[in-house]
Amino acid sequence: MITETAAAPKFRDYLELTKPRLSLLSVITTMVGYFAARPAGNPGKLTLLFIGTSLAAGGVAALNQWLEHETDAQMKRTADRPIPSGKVATGSAFVLGWLMCVAGLFLLFAWVDRLAALFTLLTVISYLGWYTPAKKRSLWSTEIGAIAGAFPPLIGWSAGDGSVSALGWILFGVLFFWQIPHFMAVAWTYRKDYSAVHFPMLPVRDESGTKVAAWSLVNAIALVIVSLLPVVWGLTTKAYGVAAAVVGAWFIWRAIAFTRREGRDVMARKLFFASIIYLPLVLGALVADRLIAS
């Protein structure tokens, strides 16, 4: 049940509504796509890209919380979010979310790049119209969400290049496959919460965790393979390939550890933290390689 409060919302309540950490990840991966495309220097476009994607990401997060405020109220890990805790009214969240999305899309369409605006629109539609409802209905909701979450590099690449090349789609693949073990580890850790609201995701249905861990490992291996394609296709130097291979081997090792029944809860948390470390290392190495080798 959503609690009522007479206190006026504070700025930090609205900020929390935008899920700043998750939104920041979308903005950072957008910037990765932009710089990996090796664009001509254009500080104005870069600034507008940053503002536009920040607005859109924050707006999507606010609308997601508006859509899910009833289930959020039933889960311990989300019950203190701004809407279920009564800090922000549902109507305010709805208006703020749409204003931010529309403003972000307008900035990108009018002053950055129309293809970038299109990929941003696809992100909004797929996240709110496909992923959010799927969480209540589909075993594959995590994979659906991974599609929505993999669009940001394409937004950045389009802004930097005006189109999307093979490397841009490889970045899409890296983000897609990375999200599966990342969110499987999260969902396994909080499986009781998800079970309480009857989300039919794999970590809820697979009580032993065997399938969850195996699926995480499969996607971790796919992630490393995709991350090495730039070297195979001559889009980066071998230095990046060495970095991606070393970090990737470590990430696969963490995914293998998750497959062991004994201590699986601990291994899930270690896999989660490994995923947090893996992504910036690999993406940072790729961008550095592209800029240094250009």
pLDDT in tens, 208-233: 999 999 999 999 999 999 999 999 99
For residue 35, the SS3 value is helix
Residue 244 has pLDDT above 50, yes or no: yes
pLDDT-based confidence at 145, cuts 50/70/90? very high
Segment 12-52, tens digit of pLDDT: 999 999 999 999 999 999 999 999 999 998 999 999 999 99
Task: Examine the pLDDT at 60 and tell me if it is beyond 70.
Answer: yes
Q: What is the mean pLDDT of residues 153-168?
A: 97
What mean pLDDT do residues 158-164 have? Answer: 96
User: Over 50: is that where the pLDDT of 238 sits?
Assistant: yes
Q: Is the model's pLDDT at 139 over the cut of 70?
A: yes
- The region that residue 41 occupies, defined by phi over 0 for left and psi between -120 and 50 for alpha, beta otherwise, is beta
pLDDT of 286 > 90? The answer is yes
Which tops the pLDDT comparison, 274 or 1?
Answer: 274
Helices 238-258 + 166-189 axis angle, to 10: 20
Give residue 7's pLDDT: 65
Predicted confidence at residue 276, as pLDDT, reads 97
CA distance 133 to 199: 10
Assign 294 a pLDDT band (cuts: 50, 70, 90).
Answer: low
> Once rounded to an integer, what is the mean pLDDT over residues 63-76?
94
The rounded percent of the chain whose pLDDT value lies above 70 is: 97
CA nearest to 35, candidates 175, 152, 178, 177:
152
Model pLDDT, residue 293? 83
Task: For the chain, list the domains and their CATH numbers.
Answer: 7-162 (1.10.357.140), 165-294 (1.20.120)
Residue type (1 letter), 211: K
Taking 60 as the threshold, does the pLDDT of residue 102 lie above it? yes
Task: Report the half-sphere exposure of 13 (CA within 13 A, side-chain side).
Answer: 17
Is the pLDDT reported for residue 59 higher than 80? yes
* Cβ contact 30:151 at 8 Å: no
pLDDT score recorded for residue 5: 45
Q: Do residues 245 and 262 touch, judged by C-beta distance below 8 A?
A: no
pLDDT in tens, 180-208: 999 999 999 999 999 999 999 999 999 99
Residue type, 202: L
Give the model's pLDDT for residue 227: 98
Reported as a single tens digit per residue, the pLDDT across 113-130 is: 999 999 999 999 999 999
Q: Specify the pTM.
A: 0.94
Distance CA 150, CA 172 (A): 5
Residues 79-89 have pLDDT tens digits of 999 999 999 99
